[in-house]
Amino acid sequence: EVQLVESGGGLVQPGGSLRLSCAASGFTFPSYWMTWVRQAPGKGLEWVANINQDGSATYYVDSVKGRFTLSRDNAKNSLSLHMNSLRADDTAVYYCATWSDSSGSFDPWGQGALVTVSS
């Protein structure tokens, strides 16, 4: 069974840092692009970042460029999102997902991790 399990969410003060992790199982992790998509409370979906299969290419939404860093460890089937200089508008549920470069769609998704930025 394909599984993506996020961890590392929590409460952080504005300006602080947090690292989200995503553990993948049930599929050949090194063969897939990976992504993070977030959803602020009561709001819609927002793509955050993508990383290619070997980690040599990353793409970010403008609002997180220079603050967030996406990386992967193919030996450990894991994905990490390092988030610095966090702001209140980064508060959201963060979903890890695979991204198909042949269709451009996200599937499957993890269950999500809540990040709350508040003093």
Partner 1 sequence: DIQMTQSPSSVSASVGDRVTITCRASQGISSWLAWYQQKPGKAPKLLISVASNLQSGVPSRFSGSGYGTDFTLTINSLQPEDFATYYCQQANSFPLTFGGGTKVEIK
Residues interacting with partner 1, by CB under 8 A? 37, 44-47, 50, 59-62, 95, 100, 103-112
> Could you tell me whether strands 68-73 and 10-12 are parallel, antiparallel, or unpaired per DSSP bridges?
unpaired
Rounded to a whole number of angstroms, the minimum distance from the CB of residue 110 to partner 1 is: 7
The Cα 24–Cα 37 span in angstroms is 16
Rounded to a whole number of angstroms, the minimum distance from the CB of residue 119 to partner 1 is: 27
* Residue 52, phi then psi, degrees to nearest 5: -80, -175
Closer Cβ to partner 1, 9 or 112, answer by number: 112
Closer Cβ to partner 1, 16 or 21, answer by number: 21
If DSSP codes are grouped into helix, strand and coil, which group holds residue 16? coil
Rounded to a whole number of angstroms, the minimum distance from the CB of residue 50 to partner 1 is: 7
Closer Cβ to partner 1, 31 or 103, answer by number: 103
Nearest to 3 by CA among 78, 108, 106, 95: 108
Closer Cβ to partner 1, 71 or 111, answer by number: 111
Q: Are 4 and 108 in contact (CB under 8 A)?
A: yes
